[in-house]
């Protein structure tokens, strides 16, 4: 049978398996020409644009400039000649980095001067590219500069960004790094937003909050927060005057990673997190935390409707002596899910992220508690798998050289921690590098 005669449903299934393998997708487009239109949807699904903003020079001829990767012009020509390619873009990522002028020689000065003139073409290329993206569903904006860009860039560029934010297809806004001013400026232009992801907020505390634009009514159903404690509390407690109309009371998914949250028992963080979860008791389906709570989870959520949980637990070596992380987490989990349970537990997926865990301090010291937790997971009838991620830093400085007992936890150790789940074939152990919160 010729490949062009295959049903589109089968072609989509094949390409879905290869969606992350760009070379394989391109090979399919070459060998099976009938698949080309479908392959293009996968190849052009994600688009990343990087801007390099050079700071102002002390010399008068050189002004702040923006430099884009050399492939921006071919991209402009591709969208100009084949508009349907832009329609395939579903995820747009814009990253902004800062460059600095360096005066090492006369040739460098001349080169920088030429670049500053050529870089002006971004005012023409970038707006056209952004305005061509009519089907964007997810927009990620990352600004590593010390100042906002959306409020200072040329009007044509700002209008182009706004056109993307106002697309009726856009439902997810992500800001991994940037200022609060940019965050609320973008939220003002996202009337159809359903998912919000906020990372590190860089706004300085002395900024007049009254100058921020007021956000229209928004009720997202997904909230992912991974910023520091100060901005986490301000955001979740809605202390920004501009966010008075943003309501976090209809969330289906909550992911909270408070930066540097190694110490368990921070009252303000715990109370705020519990209140957010409690307000979404009726709708919450997916929960991810690195904050150990005080109230049992089953009193905050509906255990019959919660489908997945993800807990990030740090080592005793990275927590306080009064509140060692593993012990507090284990006590809380055991209290949250007593065995036998009086209510039906509907959790289908559970993930434990063990960050920088040590064999003796974090595992064998609490052996009975880990054994009790293993019995709890075994009693969940719908739990398909327990995924345990062993996260390590790329350096060994986290392990004290003064102690010979601080050996990092291995895959075999995790299997010994959950023997029942291991015996039933429902335990999955993965080793990764620890993230930085």
How many CA atoms, within 13 angstroms, populate the side-chain half-sphere of residue 289?
18
The sign of the CA dihedral 128, 131, 132, 138 is: positive
Q: How far apart are CA 217 and CA 234, in angstroms?
A: 18
Are residues 102 and 30 both part of a single domain? Answer: no
358 domain-assigned: yes
290 within 8 A of 297, measured Cβ to Cβ: no
Rounded distance between C-alpha atoms, residue 136 and residue 152, angstroms: 24
d(CA 127, CA 136): 15
Rounded distance between C-alpha atoms, residue 319 and residue 159, angstroms? 47
Q: Is the confidence at residue 305, as pLDDT, over 90?
A: yes
Is residue 69 situated within a structural domain? yes
Taking the mean position of all CA atoms in its chain, how far away is CA 334?
A: 29
Task: Give the model confidence (pLDDT) of 15-32 as tens digits.
Answer: 666 666 666 666 666 556
CA dihedral 309, 315, 316, 318 (to 10 degrees): -110
| Tally of domains within the chain | 3
For residue 252, tell me if it sits in a domain: no
- Residue (of 394, 393, 382, 389) closest to 411 by Cα position: 389
Residue 256 lies in a domain: no
pLDDT at 277 over 90: yes
Residues 324 and 373 reside in one and the same domain: yes
Contact 50, 68 (CB under 8 A): yes
On whether both 424 and 367 belong to a single domain, the answer is: yes
Q: Are residues 165 and 35 in the same domain?
A: no
Residue 313's beta-bridge partner residues? 354
pLDDT for the residue 349:
95
pLDDT at 384 over 90: yes
Q: Other CB atoms closer than 10 Å to residue 360's CB: what's the count?
A: 14
Any domain includes 437:
yes
Please check whether residue 59 lies inside any domain of the structure: yes
pTM, rounded to two decimals: 0.81
Shared domain check, 331 and 302: yes
**324 and 434 share a domain?**
yes
In this predicted structure, the answer to whether residue 125 has a pLDDT above a threshold of 70 is: yes
Q: Where are the alpha helices (DSSP H) in 58-104?
A: 72-81, 83-87
Report the pLDDT value the prediction gives residue 127, as an integer from 0 to 100.
87
Q: What is the DSSP secondary-structure string of 235-280?
A: HHTT-SGGGTTB--SS-SEEEE--TTTTSTT-HHHHHHHHHHHHHT
User: What's the average model confidence in pLDDT over 243-256?
Assistant: 88
Rg (CA), the chain: 25
| Residue 400, pLDDT above cutoff 60 | no
Average pLDDT value for residue range 33-49? 73
In this structure, the answer to whether residues 339 and 422 fall within a common structural domain is: yes
Specify the pLDDT at position 8. 67
In this predicted structure, the answer to whether residue 38 has a pLDDT above a threshold of 80 is no
pLDDT at 420: 95
Q: What is the mean pLDDT of residues 88-94?
A: 91
Is residue 33 domain-shared with residue 111, that is, in the same domain?
Answer: no
Residues 7 and 127 placed together within one structural domain of the fold:
no
Q: What stretches of 96-245 show up as alpha helix (H) in DSSP? A: 106-118, 122-132, 155-165, 180-187, 229-236
Q: Give the integer Cα–Cα distance in Å for 35 and 27.
A: 10
DSSP state of 179: -
> At what angle are helices 72-81 and 122-132 packed, to 10 degrees?
50
Identify the pLDDT of residue 21: 62
The pLDDT score that the predictor gives to residue 27 is 63
pLDDT (0 to 100) of residue 356: 84
pLDDT computed for residue 397 by the predictor: 43
What pLDDT is stored for residue 168 in this prediction? Answer: 94
Secondary structure of residue 310 in the 3-state scheme: strand
Of the listed ranges 92-96, 288-292, 393-397, the one predicted with least confidence: 393-397
Token pair listed for 62: 């050189």
Averaged over 292-319, what is the pLDDT?
88
Over residues 312-343, the pLDDT tens digits come to: 988 876 555 555 678 889 999 999 998 877 67
Q: Is residue 161 part of a domain?
A: yes
User: Best-predicted range by mean pLDDT among 79-83, 296-300, 364-368?
Assistant: 296-300
- The answer to whether residues 365 and 355 belong to one domain is yes
| Structural domain range at position 295 | 284-437
pLDDT at 37: 67
Q: Mind listing the pLDDT tens digit for each residue in 194-230?
A: 999 999 887 654 556 666 778 888 899 999 999 888 8
Exposure string of 10-40, with b = 16+ CB inside 10 Å and e = fewer, is ebeeebeeeeeeeeebeebbeebeebeebbb
| Residue 426 clears pLDDT 60, i.e. is over it | yes
More confident: 189 or 264? 189
Q: Is residue 234 part of a domain?
A: no
């Amino acid at each position: 049978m010729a490949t062009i005669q295959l049903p589109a449903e089968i072609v989509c299934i094949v390409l879905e398996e290869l969606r992350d393998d760009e070379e394989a997708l391109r090979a399919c487009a070459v060998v099976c020409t009938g698949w080309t239109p479908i392959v293009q949807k996968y190849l052009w699904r994600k688009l990343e644009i990087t801007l390099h903003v050079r700071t102002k020079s002390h010399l008068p001829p050189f002004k702040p400039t923006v430099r884009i990767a050399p492939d921006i012009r071919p991209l402009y020509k591709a969208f100009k000649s084949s508009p349907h390619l832009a329609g395939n873009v579903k995820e747009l990522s814009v990253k902004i980095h800062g460059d600095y002028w360096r005066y090492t020689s006369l040739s460098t000065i001349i080169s920088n001067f030429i670049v500053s003139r050529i870089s002006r073409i971004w005012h023409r290329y970038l707006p056209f590219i952004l305005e061509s993206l009519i089907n964007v569903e997810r927009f990620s904006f990352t600004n590593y500069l010390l100042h906002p860009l959306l409020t200072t860039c040329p009007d044509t560029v700002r209008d182009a960004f706004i056109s993307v934010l106002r697309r009726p297809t856009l439902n997810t806004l992500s800001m991994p790094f940037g200022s609060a001013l940019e965050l609320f400026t973008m939220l003002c232009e996202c009337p159809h937003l359903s998912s919000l992801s906020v990372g590190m907020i860089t706004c300085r505390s002395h900024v007049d909050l009254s100058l921020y634009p007021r956000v229209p009514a928004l009720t997202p159903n997904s909230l992912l927060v991974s910023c520091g404690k100060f901005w986490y509390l301000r955001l979740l407690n809605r202390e920004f005057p501009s966010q008075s109309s943003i309501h976090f009371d209809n969330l289906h998914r909550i992911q909270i990673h408070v930066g540097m949250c190694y110490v368990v028992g921070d009252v303000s963080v715990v109370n705020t997190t519990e209140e957010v979860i409690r307000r979404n008791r009726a709708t919450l389906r997916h929960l991810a935390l690195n904050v150990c709570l005080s109230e049992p989870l089953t009193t905050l959520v509906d255990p019959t409707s919660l489908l997945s949980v993800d807990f990030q637990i740090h080592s005793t070596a990275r927590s306080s002596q009064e509140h060692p992380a593993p012990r507090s987490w284990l006590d809380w989990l055991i209290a949250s899910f007593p065995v036998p349970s009086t209510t039906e537990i509907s959790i289908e997926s559970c993930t434990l992220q063990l960050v920088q865990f040590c064999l003796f301090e974090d595992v064998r010291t609490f052996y009975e508690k880990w054994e009790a937790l293993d019995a709890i997971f075994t009693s969940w009838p719908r739990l398909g798998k327990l995924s345990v991620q062993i996260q390590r830093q790329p350096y060994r400085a986290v392990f004290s050289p003064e102690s010979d007992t601080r050996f990092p936890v291995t895959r075999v150790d995790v299997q010994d921690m959950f023997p029942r789940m291991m015996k039933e074939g429902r335990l999955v152990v993965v080793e990764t590098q620890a993230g930085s919160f």
